[in-house]
Structure 1
Amino acid sequence: MQTGFGIYAKIAHDIITGKASLPNLPDAALRIRRAMQDPDCDLARMENIIKTDAGLSGYLIQMANSPMYRGWFATKDLKRALSLFGMEMTRNLCLGYSLRAMFRARDPQLKALLTDHWKRSAHRAAFCAVLAGQVRRISPDRALLAGLLQEIGMPLLYVRLENYPEALSNPEILQDLEETFCATISLTLLDSWGLDAELQEVARSRHDWSREHRGRADLADVVMLVNLHELRLENDPTRYLPEMRSLPAYAKVDPGPVSERGTLVVLDESVDIAAIEATMTG
């Protein structure tokens, strides 16, 4: 009979090896994805799909008026919002919104855990969007989605642990599970959804501080810098963290000065993060 951490590790292993069923993409994201596979799909068709979901429609209008996208005039209707975004950006934002469906549960303990995880994911995603605005060729909406998806395996694991309340209430066990299995479960889920290699690389390398690659800064570089920034803010004395400037990603992104506590000044001083985060969690 298995005891302790081994019981929970087996649940994670079953997910990774395909012994446990994986959730499908949330409905709204699945319908948008299917529509975009049709070469004749246009924004009018996207609008007809999206407007059947009042929550999603409202979210896209809010996002169009957020600091990420707002222009000279307020966006008051879905058609204008979609024309502002375009097809690919609309797909990314719809997927990001629909992920909230994975963070719902009836059990109070599980619900609280999932809600907290969603809020932390939204907070990091807002940081990612703001930092991406400093980098050429990386769109803020893509960075927002990457920030939300980088640890998408954890909600799935939490749900599978619903019958083990002793694990869900133990921060040390959850931390061990995250460090051991988060990346692999996230990759398993992203692959099952058919999401691209760039998003999978974000999940794989989110804490790989020494990661190097050829060419310009990429999405994984942006997300990694945000993660180190956040960990620096937590200031956990038991956790070793490298200096921000020592990361190859820092040299690639070139995000500007670092504060005395090792955080990125551009994120410390941003006035847009709270507004973007509120749009996702409100």
Structure 2
Amino acid sequence: MIGRESLPVQRLRQFKPLNRLTEDQLVLLASRAERRTHTPGQRVAERGARDGLDYYLLSGAVELESVDGRKSEIVAESEQAANAVARLQPRMYDVIATQPCEFLVIEQDVLNQLLRVAPVEQVESLSEEDSDADEEYQLLMEFYAELRSNQLSLPSVPDVAWKVRRLTDREDTTAEQIAGAITADPSMAAKLVRACNSPLYRGFNDVRNVRESVVRLGTNTTRQLVTVFALREVFQTRQPLLQKAMETLWQHSREVAALCWVLAGSVTRINPEEALLAGLLHDIGVVPVVVQAEHHVNLFADQVNLDRAIAELRGDVGAAVLENWGFPDSFSEAARHAEAWDYDCRKPEPQLVDVVLVAQMHAMIGSHQNQGLPAFAAVPAYHRLGELELNVSRSLKLLTEARARVDEVQQLLSIH
């Protein structure tokens, strides 16, 4: 049930970050907000939804259930109820009413606009803890606003990768022309030759120059490998503390990329180099978040806050980066849903996103980060690969036997 009856201003001040707003702003906000009631057992919000709304619990109680089945309860007027319920989007929880309950429902865009012009003295009157929480909330909302209006500073494709991708899009491009574009970047030329002579691509004889490498590898593999090697320079930041986060991100991306290469070649018809690149790019959305963190040093000095912002923003920002770079939709889909274990793209054959999701799971299990991971049987992507006779025992056996191959791909990605 939906209504428009306004709440008293003092009642609104009990919620964060509404307590930052002036009385006039709260009156305006109350006039634009809705009040909704729900009966026990009724779904309030659905996991995975992107509705742009904040739900503040006025009365009653709700249960939150995550993708792995864990449940928690929020009761009105408790400390947890001071913040919007399951605010992060796409939503990470199913929210079910367990008692008759009432919500104040606010559009996030409306609240964000009011927070932008909230007076400084309102912020200074808050405790340090409240101020940090509100700054985090405002930063997340600013990211979304900038993302929607194309104002967020996204990384650009390194020049050599951009030139090679444009050349290979043309049917009349020769190996000499592609080699010429690569040779203009001596570092890239050396990497490609070393890659062509690596165990993954070595022939009967070593190649001696870029043109021979392009001929042996073929246009598509050359294109993908040049992009892979060029990406290393994207994972950089000026702040030593944040550079550590970048290095950790790069190491994880390399591990997932190597597993994608093996999985794609073993149990799908997806091109392994394409899967390798999708694995390397699955967390590209973290890069702009970490770079932006340079401007919010006090907020992001706390690793917990940085991790929370990354978890909230990585999918949408990653998809935006790849769309901006002109990558196919399949790459954007893989970045957006790389940790959405319940995602099901519902296409007849396995997709890049399926390979990335399953590779992610194996990478996390291999590094003992499997706390909170769902069972393989509960992951749609795993079942989609299962259509090609992949199951739990076979996948673990496959990756154990392919460990040497994974190590070879890791060495390829480590070429300097």
Same fold (TM over 0.5): yes
Q: Is the 8 A contact 1:119 1:281 kept in 2?
A: no
Instruction: Tell me which amino acid in the other structure corresponds to 1:86.
Output: G
Q: d(CA) in 2 for partners of 1:169 and 1:265?
A: 41
Q: Which amino acid aligns with 1:40?
A: D
Match of 2:365 among 221, 232, 238: 232
- Take 2:265 and 2:395, find their aligned partners in 1: how far apart are those partners? 17
Deviations 1:52-75 (A, max 9, x none): 212211222232233433334333
Aligned match for 2:382, one of 232, 250, 265: 250
Query: Which position in structure 2 is the counterpart of 1:95?
Result: 227
1:64-213 paired onto structure 2 within 5 Å? 64-212=196-344, 213=346
> What is the deviation of 1:149?
0.9
1:199 CA displacement: 0.6
For the 8 Å contact 2:158–2:231, the answer to whether it is kept is yes
**Cα offset for 1:165?**
2.9
Shift of 1:7: 4.3
* Counterpart for residue 62 of structure 1: 194
Residue pair 1:11, 1:160 contacting (<8 A) in 2 also: no
Aligned to 1:220: 353
- Quote how far apart the aligned CAs of 1:123 are: 1.6
Distance change (3 Å), C-alpha of 1:71 and 1:245: farther
Task: Classify 1:195/1:281 alpha carbon distance in 2 versus 1 (closer, same or farther; 3 Å).
Answer: same
How far is 1:227 from its partner?
A: 0.7
Deviations 1:183-213 (A, max 9, x none): 0000111111111111111112212323332
Distance 1:223 1:66, change over 3 A: farther
* Match of residue 44 from structure 2: none
SS in 1 for 2:392: coil
> Residue 214 and residue 36 in structure 1: after superposition, are their counterparts in 2 closer, same or farther (change >3 A)?
closer
Instruction: Give the SS at the match of 1:134.
Output: helix
Equivalent in 120, 126, 140 of residue 9 of structure 1: 140
Between Structure 1 and Structure 2, the one with more strand by share is: 2
Q: 1:170 to 1:278 in 2, by over 3 A?
A: farther
Q: What per-residue deviation string (whole Å, max 9, x for no partner) do you get for residues 79-131 of structure 1?
A: 22211222222211111211112122333223222222112211211111111
Structure 2, unaligned runs of 5 or more: 1-122, 124-130
Q: Answer with 184-193 or 207-216: which moved more.
A: 207-216
Confirm or deny: 8 A CA contact 2:258 2:406 kept in the other structure: yes
Could you say which residue in structure 1 is the equivalent of 2:406? 273
Comparing 104-113 with 117-126, greater Cα deviation is found at: 104-113
State whether residues 320 and 332 of structure 2, in contact with CA within 8 Å, keep that contact through their aligned partners in structure 1.
Answer: no
1:30 corresponds to 2:162: yes
Kindly report the root-mean-square deviation, in angstroms, between the aligned alpha carbons of the 2 structures: 2.4
Q: 1:229 deviation in Å? A: 1.1
1:225 is displaced (CA, Å) by 0.4
Distance 1:156 1:26 in 2: 15
Cα distance between partner residues in 1 of 2:270 and 2:188? 24
Q: Which has the larger radius of gyration?
A: 2
Task: Give the conservation status (yes or no) of the 8 Å contact 1:245–1:251.
Answer: yes
Could you say what secondary structure the match of 2:338 adopts? coil
Structure having greater relative contact order (Cα 8 Å, sep ≥ 6): 1
Aligned twin of 2:175: 43
TM normalised by structure 1 equals: 0.88
Contact 2:267 2:390 in 1 (8 A): no
Give secondary structure in 2 for the equivalent of 1:176. Answer: helix
When residues 280 and 14 of structure 1 are mapped into structure 2, their CA distance, relative to the original with a 3 A threshold, is farther
- Normalising by structure 2, we get a TM-score of 0.61
Higher mean C-alpha deviation, range 94-103 or range 182-191: 94-103
- The AA in structure 2 aligned to 1:92 is Q
Structure with the higher helix share, 1 or 2 = 1
Q: Do the aligned partners of 1:232 and 1:263 also contact (CA within 8 Å) in 2?
A: no
Structure 1: 5+ residue stretches without partners: none
